[in-house]
Structure 1
């Protein structure tokens, strides 16, 4: 009987050591169930010590069984918490990976945006440089000889300027070439007064020297001498289609300007250069 009691006491002490280890391992954890079971273990420990002091073997055995059940529950909960902790770590790792991928994509998007802006700027600069070079070439080209007064049939209109009219329908490039060969150039409209003149002198549609110099869908209409024709200029017909690159004056449109495909055909009106008057 005494040996059994001593054995129970040794087992109880070992269990007490285990309880201490478990109590340390769960210290600081916020799990309410674990904290409650640790409190129960402490109560059973006190009861176990009291039973040992009294030599009550039955109570010692009962307290050991109760403590063991709680210890098993603690082990199971600790395993569950470790699994949850591992799951949380995996989720955090995935979130960090996704965040890193998003940050990398943002950097790529920002880089593409910067390169796009740089390309657009370069295109605009190249277009402007090309236009200025073309205008410079025109200024420095040897002046063409003025056509002899009797070589072509020039007509003087009420604005005092002289023009050559060709009623053969051709595309814009052919009309421009036709004027150049005769020492003339496609007409330039200066103001609304000119449009009124065309209303009285012409019918149908006639090419003018303005052409789109823009790139990448940008519209930058310029006259032959490089002067800009603003998109809001009153010279445009109020419902003008400005999607094409070449322009004609249309008497059906109140003698105002309208864009037209360059490969389309219209009549040609050439103007005598100022230096030939």
Structure 2
């Protein structure tokens, strides 16, 4: 705006050569051959310089590139953070599962001791002694009964308890040898439940006898190839004179009852 008279100054319009645009020139052509003559000729003059984007546009492109770069960097940071959170949650879940397994294991041991206390309180020696009249006292000085009626471990446990007895406690190799030899006389190729059972949880193996004493997994009484993951302990008369493992719900197994030491 002109500061003297208050009128707007006319804006200068750049020529095609100044604006960087192509210039088109039309001229009339005179020819003697009117039939084939073109009335006009067209001449295109290319600009002497390459158009350059205005400064504002260049700034906008630069800002766009910077924005895209920042967004990409932010996406990488978020991805790394999310991955760390996922791995942390997986670790916490694993730790929580381990803690739950430990609690379940302790609960099993507590229940075992509770059952043993209950067994001691309700021990019926008169009933056990009556049962002992039909039982066998072997060379180790202990009295057993060998039952060839098959059932699972829990059924065998219950059958012994009904007679005031418990499943055989074979805590040393001498007892294993004596009971094994007698069982083999009865059936040379057979499976017999004894009292030990796994009270561990998951990959933790904790074999114990009903009184809570441990049957260590590295004990020499175990057969070399015994699969500790199966859960219950048995003698196999067709195999080595060692303790083997079987599933507790296996119903094709005989069982051995023993007279409690308190009732001799």
Q: TM-score, structure 1 length as denominator?
A: 0.66
Q: Identify which of 85, 89, 100 aligns with 1:122.
A: 100
- Structure 2 residue runs of 5 or longer lacking an equivalent are 1-47, 185-189
Query: 1:241 offset after TM fit, Å?
Result: 2.1
Q: Identify which of 207, 213, 234 aligns with 1:227.
A: 213
Residue 202 of structure 1 aligns with which residue? 183
Following TM superposition, the consecutive aligned residue runs of length 4 or more in structure 1 with deviations greater than 4 angstroms are: 75-82
- Structure 1 residue runs of 5 or longer lacking an equivalent are 1-67
- 1:159-198 per-residue CA deviation (whole Å, 9 max, x = no partner) reads 1111111122222111111100011100111122222223
Q: Indicate the SS of the match to 1:243.
A: helix
CA distance in 2, matches of 1:148, 1:81: 100
Is this contact kept in 2: 1:198–1:255, CA < 8 A? no
- Alignment CA distance shift 1:117-1:224 (3 Å): same
Residues 220-229 or 183-192, more deviating? 220-229
Q: Identify which of 162, 185, 188 aligns with 2:169.
A: 188
Query: 1:85 offset after TM fit, Å?
Result: 5.3
Indicate the structure whose relative CO is greater, using CA pairs within 8 Å and at least 6 residues apart.
2
CA distance in 1, matches of 2:128, 2:262: 13
Paired positions, count: 208
Is this contact kept in 1: 2:128–2:164, CA < 8 A? no
Which structure 2 residues correspond to residues 37-52 of structure 1 after superposition, within 5 A? none
Is this contact kept in 1: 2:145–2:257, CA < 8 A? yes
Residue 230 of structure 2 corresponds to residue 249 of structure 1: no
Q: TM-score, structure 2 length as denominator?
A: 0.69
Is this contact kept in 1: 2:149–2:254, CA < 8 A? yes
Query: 1:79 offset after TM fit, Å?
Result: 5.3
Query: 1:83 offset after TM fit, Å?
Result: 2.7
Query: 1:116 offset after TM fit, Å?
Result: 2.9
Which structure 2 residues correspond to residues 1-277 of structure 1 after superposition, within 5 A? 83=61, 86-141=64-119, 142-146=121-125, 147=127, 149-151=129-131, 152-203=133-184, 204-264=190-250, 265-277=252-264
Is this contact kept in 2: 1:189–1:195, CA < 8 A? yes
Q: Indicate the SS of the match to 1:202.
A: helix
CA RMSD of aligned residues (A): 2.7
**Larger helix share, 1 or 2:** 1
Q: Indicate the SS of the match to 2:67.
A: helix
Q: Indicate the SS of the match to 1:224.
A: coil
